[in-house]
Amino acid sequence: MKQPGVIGRYLSLIKFSHTIFALPFACIGFTIGVMDLHASGVQSPFSWGLLLKMLLCMVFARSAAMAFNRYLDRRFDALNPRTARREVPAGIISPTGALTFTIINSLLFVITTWFINIACFSLSFVALFVVLFYSYTKRFTALCHLVLGVGLSLAPIGAYLTVTGAFAIFPLLFSFAVLTWVAGFDIIYALQDEEFDRGHKLHSIPAALGVVNALKVSSLLHIISAALIITAGIQGHLHLLYWGGAAFYVLLLIYQHRLVKPDDLSKVGIAFANTNGVASVVFAIFTIADLLRYGLNS
């Protein structure tokens, strides 16, 4: 079998396909920003160049976070049969290579924010700290899933800041929805390593509470996420398209919890990647279509 090239190896290192989780919500935040500027009388508030910069920030920040996680966790990944074939423990990418990749993407992220606006540049260091700090949290707190959620929740409000340079309550509702959504599905993903984490003194909700109770916590977080999505629709006076996307999002949250049973974790991969990726993309398409068709009346 042909071995992947350098680019392919690094795309695999950072699981580039998983960018699909938060990126659609960033596009929602960007669209809300454009709608707000349009409502305030700004002529031609949309800019392809600004959209490209926002997308680059998303890619650079997430790439830095994932590469740093792989670098920092390389010893544990080598000991865990599920992760031993990852690029760093398998010797496909050196630890130095992963750390260098982290530094390069971090610098590119900060530099890109400089060309957006002063608010994004000033907050880029805070955002970078959050997404990199997550990799340490499993060493001392079971709330690591929430920290990951905070990192990804920066996507909607960060994209809104890209357009407007200011904060607003409405996009923050989507940020909190992302926080609880991501934390909930990360708990499901962590079920696979419950015994390994406990045996190596790593912290997670499954290791702390067991599979049954961890699934209850995940369900609660996803109920909160669904409630926030509903609240956003009411707050923004959104229309049928939005509610169709919201219904699909909620149904897929329910579906992933139907897939994963305390005594059967064989479908965790499907629940984690497939279900959440589809939920994010479809919800964003319907939401953006609603905003573009009807505008925003929050």
- Contact criterion met (CB below 8 Å) for 87 and 74: no
| Residue that the structure tokens 């409630």 belong to | 227
Domain boundaries, the chain: 8-294
11 vs 146: which has the higher pLDDT: 146
- Which class does domain 8-294 fall in? mainly alpha
Task: Please determine, for residue 277, whether its predicted confidence score (pLDDT) is greater than 50.
Answer: yes
Residue 207, pLDDT above cutoff 80 = yes
Q: What is the pLDDT of residue 53?
A: 97
From the CB of residue 40, how many other CB atoms can be counted at a distance below 10 Å?
9
Q: Which residue has the higher pLDDT, 245 or 275?
A: 245
Query: Considering only 39-53, 92-106, 208-222, 266-280, which range has the smallest mean pLDDT?
Result: 266-280
* Straight-line distance from the first to the last Cα atom of the chain, in angstroms, rounded to the nearest whole number: 54
CA distance 275 to 291: 24
Burial 179-209 (b: 16+ CB within 10 A, else e): bbbbbbbbbbbbbbbbebbeeeebbbbbbbb
Following DSSP, what letter does each residue of 173-184 receive, concatenated?
HHHHHHHHHHHH
Sign of CA dihedral 110, 131, 50, 298: negative
pLDDT at residue 298, rounded to an integer: 53
Provide the token pair at 233. Answer: 């629709």
pLDDT band at 1 (very low <50, low <70, confident <90, very high): very low
How many Cα atoms are found within 13 Å in the side-chain-facing hemisphere of 201?
1
Which one, of 205, 186, 192, 190, lies nearest residue 266 by Cα?
192
CA–CA separation, 35 and 25 (whole Å): 15
**Residue 45's closest CA among 31, 24, 29?**
31
* pTM listed for this prediction: 0.93
Residue 21, CA distances (Å) to 95, 135, 142, 156, 212 in order: 26, 18, 22, 12, 25
Q: How far is the C-alpha of 90 from the C-alpha of 77, rounded, in Å?
A: 9
Instruction: Name every residue whose Cβ is closer than 8 Å to that of residue 228 and which is 6 or more positions away in sequence.
Output: 173, 174, 176, 177, 180
- The predicted-structure confidence for 217-245, as pLDDT tens digits, reads as follows 999 999 999 999 999 999 999 999 999 99
Q: What is the largest CA-CA distance in the chain?
A: 59
Q: What would the pLDDT profile of 157-199 be if each residue is shown by its tens digit?
A: 999 999 999 999 999 999 999 999 999 999 999 999 999 999 9
> Which pLDDT belongs to residue 68?
96
Stretch among 62-76, 233-247, 256-270 having the lowest mean pLDDT: 256-270
